[in-house]
Amino acid sequence: MTKSQLIERLSFESGTLNKKEAELIVNTIFDSIGSALKGGGRVEIRGFGSFSIRNRDGREARNPKSGALVKIPSKKTPFFKTGKELRERVNNGG
């Protein structure tokens, strides 16, 4: 499902929201999650999962084309851990 499909589905399912209003809601949710993660926080949506930041250490790797060593700096990456209810729904088809 794409973001635009999610917006359409929200608009349709609500029966009262037009696409612009649904888009505002979806964008607000995504922006809020991004802001919380950027600030070092964690976002937990019960039954769905949690978003957090993981620190990846710097390392050395090889350029596949030239074979030269390349230093990859440490960085922060977003991480999503599924909640129990979502995992069960996916595994049980419910």
- Tell me which H or E stretch contains 78: strand 75-82
pLDDT digits (tens, 9 = 90+) for 50-61: 999 999 999 999
pLDDT mean across residues, the chain: 95
Q: Which CATH number fits domain 3-86: 1.10.3720.10, 4.10.520.10, 2.60.40.10, 3.90.1300.10?
A: 4.10.520.10
Residue-level pLDDT at 79: 96
pLDDT digits (tens, 9 = 90+) for 20-46: 999 999 999 999 999 999 999 999 999
11 vs 21: CA distance, rounded Å = 8
For the chain, percent of residues with pLDDT exceeding 90: 96
As a dihedral over the C-alpha atoms of residue 83, residue 84, residue 89, residue 90, rounded to 10 degrees, the angle is 70
pTM: 0.77
Q: Answer yes or no: is pLDDT of 94 > 80.
A: no
